[in-house]
Amino acid sequence: MTDTLRRINDVRRQAAGSVGDRWRALPRWQRAIGFLAFVVFLYYLPYLGIPGLIWLRTDTTPQGNDWAGVLFICAVYVLIALGLNIVVGLAGLLDLGYVGFFAIGAYSVALFGSTQSPVVEALQNRFGLSPEWAVAWAICLPIAIMFTMISGVILGWPTLRLRGDYLAIVTLGFGEIIRIVARNSTFTGGPQGIAAIPGPQGAPSADNTIFGLVDAKPWYWLALSVILVVVIGVRRLENSRVGRAWLAIREDEDAAAVMGVPGFKFKLWAFAMGAAIGGLSGFLFASRNAFIDPTQFNVNLSILFVAMVVVGGAGNMAGVALGAFLLAYLPERFREFSDYRTLAFGVALVLIMLLRPQGLIPSRRRARELHDRAEEVPANV
């Protein structure tokens, strides 16, 4: 049966491939206009009312969630996928503990920004500050990024010297350790978590006109803007000396070392950059939610994150963004089948990997690598 599917897939692949080639053949200004139109469409998405596309909205179904809220979650996942793509897609390091960075970002803003957090209370008592005092939201942002980068370096320093598969299990353990520490320590609020996490307008209250608890649209626009900045930044990074070093390490670390690329240094950079973006997404997530607890940072999420990157097409930002969007959006859209969602997810993962191992929108270089590998299939008697 898979052979028939494969043949259908080949036909479809040729059709899709010609679309991609035609897009790349367009003049630069036409591509820029296309991209701008797409960005405008993304900003318009929360109001989506185009006849024929309304069924996309999640609030048209029974028990469906608020559409803008779903879009916000999708945006956070896209941001996570962009960060993990640096680690998995560009540098080729398998990180199964990415949820740890997400959690550190979220806990940074919670611990320093919320008036109810034990850390802020300790600071208030130590310096005799008023009980309403807490670190401002805008200052929590660099704190969150700093903490996640530091934790990325702390995790990477001992483990990046290990071979790939060992790295996978150690990072998996790291993600689990972060969650267990958050659950069992008193300074993180333990299993009760932390409430009253601030947003751009300060602590959550009914007076917040823009970034309130009810209307998720401004939050979605904020996350979307952050994504655009990150996309531009990562694109510049990809085409820089650092990005080329990452690709070289991914393709053959020994050859890269012979050519004078210090593998450990650049792998550590990839880890730190990926961690920072993961922290940023955790920061946004916690601000919007206004409440976090350790159960929101399960190990299963790490696996979902890696699946987003690989299904979408590791190494290609458009691909991983699509993968993240689909894996966040589809379960919300098909909420009425909630019992079968995980099963369907598993089946989809297996089928995509068997039929399209390079991902939905692969990076061209990576697709070629896979193709080369398939050509040199080992002897089989």
Partner 1 sequence: MNFAELIGHLGQHTVDGLSKGAIYALVALGYTLVYGVLKLINFAHSEVFMIGTFAVVGAWTLMGATDNPPFGTMILLLVGGLIAGVAASGATAVAVERIAYRRLRRMNAPPLIFLITAIGVSLVLSETFGLWQGRLVKGMPNVLPRKVVFTIGNTTIDNRQLLTVVAALVMMFALDQFINRTRYGRGVRAVAQSPDTAALMGVNKDRVIVLIFLLGGLLAGAAALLYNVRYGNTRFNVGFLLGLKAFTAAVLGGIGNLRGALLGGLLLGVVEVYAATLTSSAWEDVAAFVVLVVVLLFRPTGLLGESLGRARA
Positions touching partner 1 (CB under 8 A) are: 2, 88, 94, 158-159, 161-166, 168-170, 172-174, 176-177, 180-181, 183-184, 299, 303, 306-307, 310-311, 314, 339-340, 342-343, 345-350, 353-354, 357, 370, 373-374, 376-381
**Comparison of 199 and 362: residue with beta carbon closer to partner 1:** 362
CB of 291 to partner 1, least distance (A): 22
CB of 317 to partner 1, least distance (A): 18
CB 103 within 8 A of CB 297: yes
Neighbours of 181 (CB within 10 A): 15
Euclidean distance between CA atoms 72 and 59, whole angstroms: 14
**Comparison of 227 and 311: residue with beta carbon closer to partner 1:** 311
CB of 362 to partner 1, least distance (A): 12
**Comparison of 17 and 357: residue with beta carbon closer to partner 1:** 357
CB of 338 to partner 1, least distance (A): 12
CB of 53 to partner 1, least distance (A): 30
**Comparison of 88 and 110: residue with beta carbon closer to partner 1:** 88
**Comparison of 104 and 310: residue with beta carbon closer to partner 1:** 310
Euclidean distance between CA atoms 245 and 240, whole angstroms: 9
CB of 364 to partner 1, least distance (A): 16
**Comparison of 287 and 302: residue with beta carbon closer to partner 1:** 302
CB of 164 to partner 1, least distance (A): 7
**Comparison of 120 and 307: residue with beta carbon closer to partner 1:** 307
CB of 183 to partner 1, least distance (A): 7
**Comparison of 234 and 304: residue with beta carbon closer to partner 1:** 304
**Comparison of 132 and 376: residue with beta carbon closer to partner 1:** 376
CB of 184 to partner 1, least distance (A): 5
CB of 37 to partner 1, least distance (A): 33
Picking from 268, 91, 297, 320, the residue whose alpha carbon sits closest to that of residue 194 is 297
Direct distance between the N- and C-terminal alpha carbons of the chain, in angstroms, rounded to an integer: 24
Residue 2: exposed, middle, or buried by beta-carbon count in 10 A (0-12, 13-18, 19+)? exposed
**Comparison of 243 and 294: residue with beta carbon closer to partner 1:** 294
Euclidean distance between CA atoms 222 and 347, whole angstroms: 34
For the stretch 46-52, contacts whose Cβ atoms lie closer than 8 Å and that sit 24 or more positions apart, written own/partner, are 46/71, 46/216, 46/217, 46/220, 46/221
